Each structure stands twice: as structure tokens, then as C-alpha cells.
Amino acid sequence: MRRLRNVKIVATLGPASSDRTVIRALVEAGADVFRLNMSHGSQEEIAARHRIIREVEHQTGRPIGILADLQGPKLRVSRFKDGKAELQDGQKYRIELGKELGDAERAFLPHPEIFKALKPGSRLLINDGQIRLRVEQCDAKSADAIVEVGGTISDRKGVNVPDVVLPIPALTAKDKDDLEFVCNLGVDWLAMSFVQRADDVAEGQRLAAGRAAVLAKIEKPAAVDDIDSILAEADGIMVARGDLGVEMPVHKVPVIQRRLITTAQHAGKPVIVATQMLESMINAPVPTRAEVSDVATAIYDGADAVMLSAESAAGDYPVEAVATMNSVAEEVERDPHFRVRMEALRPAARPRVADAIAAAAREVAETTDIKAIACFTHGGTTAQLVARERPRVPILALTPSTRSARRMALVWGMHCILTHEVERFKLAVVSAARAARDHGFATEQDRIVVVAGIPFNVAGTTNILRVAPVDERLIYEGEPE
């Protein structure tokens, strides 16, 4: 089941894709990582999906990543006397703290944290921005606003406050309970919603305690502004374009998407592009041309992964959606201009020995007749540094850690192979040669580059590079210990 592309595909599971037959079909169509959305489904349903994924993984012999997406805080208006009210452009409207029933003159918000953060000029966006208010004056319990965009406001619609950092933690009591539950299940990645600052991610890392890698969803302007600090704490990020497009002008989202992808790549951390990528395939067997171009753009920009949400979770054509995304990725990566883009995205500065080794591996592979770069990695650091270089040849990530193999299923270009622990570099070279041959990346007449860290099984020690023949007899005859 070798992939003929480098970008990875994340497929969300849901009512349309919860049984073993569909999940197996999704893997065969191209899914590398499955997303479990903690906003939908009980913990029992999540556990059942997790169990099936691991059974399919065992059947296919291919490491599969599992990402649990935590819900995060949900800010909503209270209910209305008639279930809804009509707001007119330009009218005055009052927002008050409480849970009473609202009407056409006022609405109630049960979130004191919002009122603490509001200031004159702040915007309140309701129902994904369909209703837009601008605050004129406010205090700790109320806000008087002007309706900039009116319409129907109704019960329990979501509220966004894009202009301020809200004094609300990213993890609710439900999130903490879900986090503990999925970490005990054995998920590989945790996606944190409502991240505004690096401290939010640090809290997630503390609670995860190394049991899962932590991915920050970038969906708020404050997170975009603080991306460098957030990336320093996070193991990866997701460009959550849905909420970004609500809280920021939509014309800014493509520019932000490209900047976030480049920033994450230079940091050597994976980045997922998500939301509405093939949305028409929820109900149609083929996507629009614009959606195909959107997926292609994310791949050209260097994203590690592209994600399907409702398309695979609740749509009529989940397997077709994954297959379409796979076909688009393969076609884009065959384009010579794709390679030009990848080379332009490489980081200019490589200050550490490990960075230089990874860059040298890519340079040797691309300027000589090398078929693959094999990385011996325990925690994934070595392989991710090589992936950051976006080499032309395949990357084989050899690891004795099932956990690391599953996490690296999210990383660009990574072909993850489980191997035994090795103590000597020569044995590592032999193991890499066998893997390259057995998985169809090279023949005995070919050579590969092997990258590792000495001493073995110590994270962050990438310090050795060897060009090696795939023929084991030549390794034993000509290679030093």
C-alpha cells in the first residue's frame, strides 16, 4: 500500500464511516490519519472507532495515525422568547449578562468572560458571522452595540469575539475528561481548539504528558499573531479555515494559510490544512473545480496534510472523497513546478549539526543516483528534519517505536516502517537496505542515504550520514563498523 505522493490525507470518521468495511476502504483509497471529532459522538462511539482503526492497521501492516479533536469552549447566546428575533442594519442592540430570553431589543450571554474583555469598537459575530454587532459602550455586565449586519438571530447560536483575547482557557472540563479518555485509548495526536496563546498549548502538553503529540488549531486572530510562540510549544498546527474565515476577513485567509504553512515547515513541525476542502462531495460524487484547485493550492504551498471533515464523516461519498484527494495530490506532485515550489520553501538557515545533516542528505540524494533517504529515528526528530527539506526522493522512517511510526503518519513524505532496535550503525545500514528493497524503493543495484544519530535511541542526536549500497554483501564487505 505504498503511497505515490508525499502529502498526507486526514479523514474524519462519523456516521457515514464508522464500520470496518468503510474504514478499510478509506485506508485503501488513501487515508493516512483518522480524525475523531470529540464534538460529536459519545466516548463509547469514539472507542469503537479507535478499535476498528487499530484492527485495520494490523490487517494492512501500515502504521495509521489517529487524531482526537477536542471540542474547546463553546460561546453561545441564550434563547429567545419566540425562538428567534429579527435585527435590522443600523439599529441599536443590547447584550446583557445572563440566561434570560432575548428579543428584538436585547440578547443575553451567559459568559462573564466576554464582558470582561469587551471594549468600545469590539465586534460580536453571531451564527458564523451572519449577524455582526459593533460595541459602542460596555461594562462588566452589558454592552450597547450597533447592528452592522442584521438578520435572524435565534436560540443558542455561536458567538465569536475576534478583536480581543478572551480570558477563557482552551480546555473545558469536558475537554480534560475527553483528553484523559483518548490518551488512555492510545491516540497519537490531540488537536486543541480555541488556542489563543502559547500557554494554552502548554496546558495541553502538561495534561497529555507525552502520551500524545499536541496540535494547535489556528482559528483565532490572536493565535495567528502569536504563531511563533505557539509553534514553540506545539508539536504541529492545523489551519482551521472555517473559524478563521469568520473572525477575519475572508480575503485574508489564503495569505494567512500560506504564511502558517511556511512558518510551520521552517520550524520542522507538521501542518494540516482543513475545512471545506471538498465540501460539495458531501452530497455529490465529484467536487467542483474550485475545490480541486483549493486542495492543489495547499499541496503546492507545502502542507504536510490536507483534511476532510463532513465529506468523510457524514457525506454520501466518503471513500470517493478520499480517492479524489489522493488523485489530486498525485497529479500535483508530478508537476515539475511543484518541485520548484518545494525548493523555494526550504529554510535558509540551518544552525545545528542535525539540520546540516538533514540538508546534506537531501543534497546528496538529489545530485547523485540515490533512490531513497532512510532515517533511523526513535522519537521522529531525525525524520522530520529530513522531511523539512522536502527532498525529491522518498523518505523511509525506520523506528522501533510503534507510537513514533503512527505519529509520523501525519508528516510530509514519510513512509513509516517498524524495525528492531539496533546498537551498531552497520546493522542500521543493513536494516535500511532491506527495508528499501522489501518495500519496493530500491533494488540491489541501487544506493540509498542512511541518516541516524549516535548513540542510538537517544532523541535529538542526528549526527551521521552514510551513502550505502542496497546489496547487503557490499555493506558487509566495504562498510566500516
Q: What is the pLDDT of residues 24-60, one digit of tens each?
A: 999 999 999 999 999 998 999 999 999 999 999 999 9
In percent, how much of the chain has pLDDT > 90? 89
**Residue 334 confidence (pLDDT):** 97
Q: Are 351 and 58 in contact (CB under 8 A)?
A: no
- Whole-angstrom CA distances from 105 to 39, 93, 252 are 32, 5, 33
| Mean pLDDT estimate for the chain | 94
| The three cell numbers locating residue 74 | 463553546
- Enzyme catalytic residues: 35, 76, 217, 275
User: Regarding beta strands 370-376 and 447-453, do their DSSP bridges make them parallel or antiparallel, or are they unpaired?
Assistant: parallel
Q: What local confidence, expressed as pLDDT, does residue 200 receive?
A: 98
Kind of pairing, strands 151-154 and 159-160?
A: unpaired
Cα–Cα distance between 373 and 358 in angstroms, integer? 10
**Residue 468: pLDDT over 70:** yes
Mean pLDDT (whole number) for 362-370? 94
The pLDDT of residue 478 is 52
| Residue 357 or 478, more confident | 357
Cα 312 to its chain centre, rounded Å, is 16
- Pick the more confident residue, 347 or 336: 336
The closest of 114, 149, 107 to 131, measured between CA atoms, is 149
Q: What is the largest CA-CA distance in the chain?
A: 86
| DSSP reduced 3-state for 150 | coil
pLDDT digits (tens, 9 = 90+) for 401-450: 999 999 999 999 999 999 988 878 888 899 999 999 999 999 999 999 99
205 with 189: CB under 8 angstroms? no
Domains 8-72+171-334 and 346-478 are alike in CATH topology: no
Task: With beta carbons less than 8 A apart as the criterion, state whether 410 and 380 touch.
Answer: no
State how far the Cα of 378 lies from the Cα of 457, in Å rounded to an integer: 5
Helix, strand, coil percent content, the chain, rounded in steps of 5: 40, 25, 35
Q: Looking at residue 102, what DSSP letter applies?
A: B
Q: Is the pTM here over 0.85, yes or no?
A: yes
Q: Is the dihedral of CA 350, 355, 356, 362 positive or negative?
A: negative
Distance CA 480, CA 30 (A): 40
Number of residues assigned to the chain: 481
SS3 of 158, please? strand
pLDDT class for 227, splitting at 50, 70, 90? very high
Residue 350, pLDDT score: 73
DSSP sequence for 48-90: HHHHHHHHHHHHHT---EEEEE------B---BTTSEEEE-TT
Question: Residue 479: is its pLDDT beyond 60?
Answer: no
CATH class of 346-478: alpha beta
Domain 8-72+171-334 has CATH 3.90.79.10: no
Mean pLDDT confidence for 285-313 = 98
Name the pLDDT band for 72 (thresholds 50, 70, 90).
very high
State mean pLDDT over 298-320: 98
pLDDT of 105 reads 97
Instruction: Dump pLDDT digits (tens) for 247-280.
Output: 999 999 999 999 999 999 999 999 999 999 999 9
Q: For residue 128, give the nearest of 37, 222, 219 by alpha carbon.
A: 219
Q: Could you tell me if 157 and 76 are in contact, meaning their C-beta atoms sit under 8 angstroms apart?
A: yes
Q: Tell me, rounded to whole angstroms, the distance of Cα 35 from its chain centroid.
A: 10
**Position 458 confidence tier, pLDDT thresholds 50, 70, 90:** low
CATH fold group of domain 84-160: M1 Pyruvate Kinase; Domain 3 (2.40.33)
- For residue 480, what pLDDT is reported? 47
In the chain, what are the domain boundaries? 8-72+171-334, 84-160, 346-478
Query: What would you report as the CA-atom Rg of the chain, rounded to the nearest whole angstrom?
Result: 24
Contact between 278 and 289 under an 8 Å Cβ cutoff? The reply is no
User: CB 326: neighbour CB atoms within 10 A?
Assistant: 19
What residues contact 197, with CB distance under 8 A and at least 6 apart?
165, 222, 223, 226, 229, 230
